[in-house]
């Protein structure tokens, strides 16, 4: 049962491995906040729809199963959309825009309903929906963190480094495509290669800090000039 949950995080990550749901991923991962709420909305709909479809799977005629799935999914999407409009800011709702209602036809939701929930029990379907939803949420957050920090120089709206010049392309569609392509390539590498790259990603900042500390210690120290005494002129004597 635990495997049904963990597979959605890694081996069947919807963004980087299955490559589904890319339209809302590109549109809502420009900031951490919008990526988080998009992931939460999709996860709630996925878990609830998987549960209901698994419960009624024996009563749905095969010829009309897809329309029935869409009706179930649309019901939960409407609930989520109304709650988000009631409790989230108008600016955030504007950012998410049409992509919350479009969860109804999101490939991730329909794919799990048809491929898994319609064939398995309730508990397995809940874990599958939760795992795939969390994998989608984590993927969005990873993209959102990188794009917001690099593309805007902020995190959750707070400026991190004064004077930092953002790489504006990262918050635009071309930057999103480029970043998703790089991360897809990483997640589809062999496990050993992934571990090596991840190790270097963590070691590089540490090595850079160590190098800076060593350079600072080796740099010649300039003795401060006592108060009241003039500094010696360059190339001449201090006394006149």
Query: In angstroms, rounded to a whole number, what is the distance separating the alpha carbons of residues 198 and 105?
Result: 35
pLDDT in tens, 115-141: 899 888 999 999 999 999 999 999 999
Using the predicted structure, report yes or no on whether residue 39 has a pLDDT greater than 70.
yes
The number of CA neighbours under 13 Å toward the Cβ of 8 is 28
Query: In angstroms, rounded to a whole number, what is the distance separating the alpha carbons of residues 29 and 158?
Result: 17
Q: State CA 219 to chain mean position distance.
A: 41
CB 130 within 8 A of CB 123: no
- The mean pLDDT value for 13-39 works out to 89
Confidence of residue 74 (pLDDT cuts 50, 70, 90): very high
Using the predicted structure, report yes or no on whether residue 42 has a pLDDT greater than 70.
yes
What is the pairing mode between strands 154-155 and 158-159?
A: antiparallel
Confidence of residue 189 (pLDDT cuts 50, 70, 90): confident
Helical H segments across the chain, by residue range: 2-6, 22-28, 32-56, 65-87, 90-96, 107-112, 122-152, 173-187, 191-218
């Amino acid at each position: 049962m635990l495997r049904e949950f963990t597979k959605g995080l890694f081996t069947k990550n919807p963004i980087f491995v299955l490559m589904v749901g890319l339209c809302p991923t590109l549109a809502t991962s420009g900031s951490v906040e919008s990526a988080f709420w998009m992931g939460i909305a999709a996860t709630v709909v996925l878990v609830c729809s998987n549960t209901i479809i698994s419960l009624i799977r024996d009563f749905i005629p095969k010829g009309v199963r897809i329309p029935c799935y869409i009706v179930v999914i649309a019901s939960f999407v409407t609930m989520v959309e109304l709650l988000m409009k009631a409790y989230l800011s108008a600016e955030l709702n504007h950012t998410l825009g049409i992509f919350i209602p479009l969860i109804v036809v999101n490939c991730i939701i329909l794919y799990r309903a048809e491929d898994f929930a319609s064939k398995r029990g309730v508990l397995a379907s809940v874990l599958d929906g939760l795992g795939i939803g969390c994998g989608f949420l984590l993927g969005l957050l990873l993209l959102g963190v990188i794009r917001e920090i690099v593309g805007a120089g902020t995190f959750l709206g707070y400026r991190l480094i004064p004077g930092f010049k953002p790489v504006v392309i990262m918050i635009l569609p071309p930057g999103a495509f480029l970043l998703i392509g790089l991360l897809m390539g990483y997640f589809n590498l062999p496990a050993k290669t992934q571990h090596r790259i991840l190790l270097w990603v963590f070691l590089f900042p540490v090595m850079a800090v160590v190098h800076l500390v060593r350079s600072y210690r080796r740099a010649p120290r300039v003795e401060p000039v006592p108060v009241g005494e003039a500094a010696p002129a360059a190339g001449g004597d201090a006394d006149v």
